[in-house]
Amino acid sequence: MSWDWQFYCNDTATGEAVAGCFGPGGKEQTYLQWMLNAWGWTLSVSLLALLVALVVGSLIGIARTTPNKWLARFGEAWTELFRNIPLLVQVFLWYHVLPALFPVLRDAVPPSVLVVCALGFFTSARIGEQVKAGIQTLPRGQRYAGQALGMTLPQTYRFVLLPMAFRIVIPPLTSESMNIVKNSAVAFAVSIPELAQFAQQASEETSHFEEIFIPVTALYFISAFAINRVAKFIEARVRIPGSGGGK
């Protein structure tokens, strides 16, 4: 088998070789530039969706453990709704259906933002479940102790429950953070120019399937592994001595 990697230096429009593999002025002209730009889109969508998922998922997890039954029911409904609809269906709903129902989304919101919302809300249901489990793992006396000290319920969550709960759920949150990088590949279905779309389109144009999918796979691995290392670093930094999980 003979692999040809030189095509990455070819102009995407003309097929002619470009010296140095980068077009003049940093414009997207070669397949290498196209792949790096697609990687940037993948990272942008993944990290923004992760931010949305962490914020919304944490609020949903908190709501499901509060004594307010309406908040708890809202959290349960949110989790069941977004967890039980396939991600690809949610992406199409955000990209096609909601803009048709609410024209302001079509006119003022970039498609990539809609994909970020779809991916973030889908993952928020899973993170909400984990945050809820982390809070419920704590002894019930911790909540009572915080309130006995004169703290309000929000203060009890902020200073007593959440610092411990988040330490407990860092491992599953790490898995969800890595999954969000992989799940970002569904964005190609609505023409977001990320890695999966690059791999599909470039392989059809050049017929260099192995040479395209091997680097794309490596970039997905590097992205997910980098998130894993950051999460491991955070876990080590916030670990309470003597609480287990390592020395």
Give the pLDDT confidence of 99-142 residue by residue, as tens digits.
999 888 888 888 899 999 999 999 999 999 999 999 999 988 88
Task: Report how far residue 194's alpha carbon sits from residue 196's, in angstroms, rounded to the nearest whole number.
Answer: 6
Q: Is the pLDDT of residue 69 over 90?
A: yes
Instruction: Report whether pLDDT(244) > 80.
Output: no
Split at pLDDT 50, 70, 90, the class of 155 is: very high
Percentage of the chain exceeding pLDDT 90: 66
Give residue 245's pLDDT. 45
pLDDT at 27: 56
pLDDT at residue 202 is higher than 80: yes
Mean pLDDT across 149-175? 91
Exposed e or buried b for every residue in 145-170, given b needs 16+ CB within 10 A? ebeeeebeeeebbeebbbebbbbbbb
CA distance 50 to 108: 22
| Mean pLDDT (whole number) for 164-184 | 93
Nearest to 176 by CA among 51, 88, 10, 68: 51
CB 231 within 8 A of CB 173: yes
How far is Cα 115 from Cα 93, in angstroms, rounded to an integer? 10
pLDDT mean across residues, the chain: 90
The answer to whether the CB of 161 falls within 8 A of the CB of 74 is no
pLDDT of residue 247: 41
pLDDT at 125: 95
Provide the token pair at 216: 């794309």
Q: What is the pLDDT of residue 243?
A: 54
What pLDDT score was predicted for residue 14? 81
Phi first, then psi: give them for residue 61, nearest 5 degrees.
-60, -40
Give Cα separations from 99 to 92, 94, 102, 107, 113 (angstroms).
11, 7, 5, 8, 12
In this predicted structure, the answer to whether residue 5 has a pLDDT above a threshold of 90 is no
At 183, give phi and psi (nearest 5°): -70, -20
pLDDT greater than 90 at residue 19: no
Determine contact, residues 76/211, Cβ cutoff 8 Å. Answer: no
25-39, 76-90, 124-138, 154-168 — which is least confidently predicted? 25-39
- Read off the pLDDT of each residue in 62-75 and give the average, rounded to a whole number: 94
Classify domain 10-19+28-237 at the CATH superfamily level: MetI-like (1.10.3720.10)
- pLDDT at residue 84 tops 90: yes
Q: What angle do CA 113, 115, 121 make, to 5 degrees?
A: 100
**Alpha-carbon radius of gyration of the chain:** 22
Helix, strand or coil, per DSSP, at residue 11: strand
Q: What is the largest CA-CA distance in the chain?
A: 74
